């Protein structure tokens, strides 16, 4: 009887093991398209999100449509987003406007154009069966930050889309850890800000925070001034690029702080 019980236990364990392997093999990755500008590609937010998901057992593949200084209006008028969505399936499309456009930082006409572009792009994304997400931008002064978040959140609510408020989390992070890498050249996102954005996206996609542990990202770290070829259907860097590193290593402390900031409201 003991031998038979042991055999049954072994067979059950083998069935569970193979079921687990089959489940992992058939698990489909989440596909994410980023549409933005240097706020999106500096520090390679798509690659950081990919690495974060993989490190937590979540298969994810990310592409991007990016160009320095590009606005959502330009992406809409070029038809590039439409072509990318026709060529490939995406579950989520992360839209990021040029900094302060929704808050009318470049005048009322630009503000109006941003709202129109977000409305049109959200419809395009929804029509292709994907979910749009608005990734916020940031301002360092308290008044400007609050005005920006109010404008961005209002624009996202009007389109029934998720909004990730970056500005208040950045400023809380600067208070808690003033010497962390929050900014790159010319106010672009530093590595720690990119990590906060990646954690916000991870929580939006999976409904829970990632594990608080060190993270190694093995991908080009794009810098301000990086150049990308004409999308076909998505953006690819032109080589050789400038000042690229082979990746970036986040410590457990950096991850812990990013998770804390992403959890704050």
**pLDDT at 25 (0 to 100):** 41
Task: Check if the beta carbon of residue 27 is closer than 8 Å to that of residue 57.
Answer: no
Q: What is the pLDDT of residues 121-143, one digit of tens each?
A: 999 999 999 999 999 999 999 99
Residue 11's pLDDT band (boundaries 50, 70, 90)? very low
Structural contact between residues 219 and 157, judged by C-beta atoms closer than 8 angstroms: no
How far apart CA 197 and CA 190 sit, in angstroms, is: 11
Mean of all residue pLDDT scores within the chain? 90
Is 201 within 8 Å of 49 (Cβ atoms)? Answer: yes
CATH class, domain 33-263, is: alpha beta
- Which residues contact residue 49 at a Cβ distance below 8 angstroms, ignoring those fewer than 6 apart? 32, 60, 62, 198, 201, 202
> Rounded distance, CA 166 to CA 153, Å?
11
The SS3 of residue 60 is: strand
d(CA 196, CA 22): 33
Strands 215-217 vs 248-250: parallel, antiparallel or unpaired:
antiparallel
Percentage of the chain with pLDDT > 70? Answer: 88
pLDDT band at 27 (very low <50, low <70, confident <90, very high): confident
Higher pLDDT, 189 or 22: 189
pLDDT band at 23 (very low <50, low <70, confident <90, very high): very low
- Span 34-62, mean pLDDT? 98
CA 41/CA 194 separation, integer angstroms: 10
User: 35-52 burial string, b = 16+ CB within 10 Å, else e?
Assistant: bbbbbbbbbbbbbbbbbb
Residue 118 and residue 134 in contact, taking contact as beta carbons nearer than 8 Å: yes
> Can you state the percent helix, strand and coil of the chain, rounding each to 5?
50, 15, 35
pLDDT at 105: 86
């Amino acid at each position: 009887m003991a031998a038979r019980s042991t055999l049954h236990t072994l067979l059950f364990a083998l069935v569970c093991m193979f079921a687990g392997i089959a489940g992992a093999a058939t698990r489909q990755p989440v596909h994410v398209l980023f549409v933005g500008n240097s706020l999106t590609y500096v520090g390679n937010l798509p690659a950081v999100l990919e690495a974060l998901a993989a490190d937590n057992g979540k298969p994810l593949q990310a592409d991007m449509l990016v160009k320095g200084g590009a606005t959502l209006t330009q992406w809409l008028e070029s038809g590039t987003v439409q072509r990318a969505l026709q060529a490939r399936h995406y579950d989520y499309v992360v839209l990021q406007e040029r900094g302060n456009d929704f808050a009318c930082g470049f005048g009322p006409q630009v503000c109006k154009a941003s709202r129109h572009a977000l409305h049109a792009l959200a419809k395009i994304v929804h029509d292709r069966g994907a979910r749009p997400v608005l990734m916020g931008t940031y301002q360092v002064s308290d008044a400007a930050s609050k005005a920006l978040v109010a404008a961005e959140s209002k624009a996202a609510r009007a389109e029934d889309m998720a909004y990730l408020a970056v500005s208040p989390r950045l400023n809380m992070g600067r208070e808690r850890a003033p010497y962390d890498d929050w900014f790159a050249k010319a106010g672009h996102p530093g590595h720690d800000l990119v990590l906060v954005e990646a954690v916000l996206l991870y929580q939006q996609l999976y409904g829970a925070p990632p594990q608080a542990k060190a993270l190694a990202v093995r991908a080009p770290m794009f810098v301000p001034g990086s150049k990308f070829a004409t999308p076909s259907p998505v953006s690819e860097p032109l080589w050789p690029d400038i000042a690229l590193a082979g990746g970036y290593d986040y410590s457990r402390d950096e991850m812990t702080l990013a998770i804390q900031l992403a959890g704050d409201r």
